[in-house]
Structure 1
């Protein structure tokens, strides 16, 4: 939004400069010049249009992208329900929208360094979209490669299998379970 506002502000200012530099006089036969009412009206219209575009751009730059601290905190304290995608609290165990039982998010806890994970192979051009899909359903994501995403780790194989089923049903992402060994 701010980028579009900046563009509108620049266009509006250029339009204003053009309008204010318009010559509104015409030559007379005796070597003099007189103001032309039609050209003066055109300059007035261009000045108003340029000013409105510049004002709109300025408002977009000033107001676009501002979020309050409460909105930011609420955004980090929620996650989408894996079944209905409505926002729910991270600590929720039941969705208030669809009534589904969900496991609480581990976002407040330290991430696991080892455990079971789901390895998903994808093309590099699909990587960003697949990453967003995994985050949207609230699964932890471990750093992978451009061709490999790793959802997890999870404390148990059954949780990893459940995550794999969620990935298949909600995101159409297929992966294999594997065990991340603890670092020694």
Structure 2
């Protein structure tokens, strides 16, 4: 019985290490490995590495001075240049209409 509990804890720790190395939450993957055991470890191993561009979506680059500013900024805090508005993301309805 102790061996099974120890195995579950080891799966949780290993899942957390794998998840952290791939850019995911270590605590979340620890719980995944702790609850699912060896299946959680397999899930952590087969998931792709998180793209760093997905994580940093709250900033953009000023076109005048190339400094990093918030996405919601209207004016650059470094050079004072007016920032162009970001294009509005298309909705799924617009995608459907476009493909018809």
Same-fold call, TM cutoff 0.5: no
Structure holding more strand per residue? 1
Relative to the length of structure 2, the TM-score reads: 0.34
Structure holding more helix per residue? 2
- Larger Rg computed on CA atoms: 1
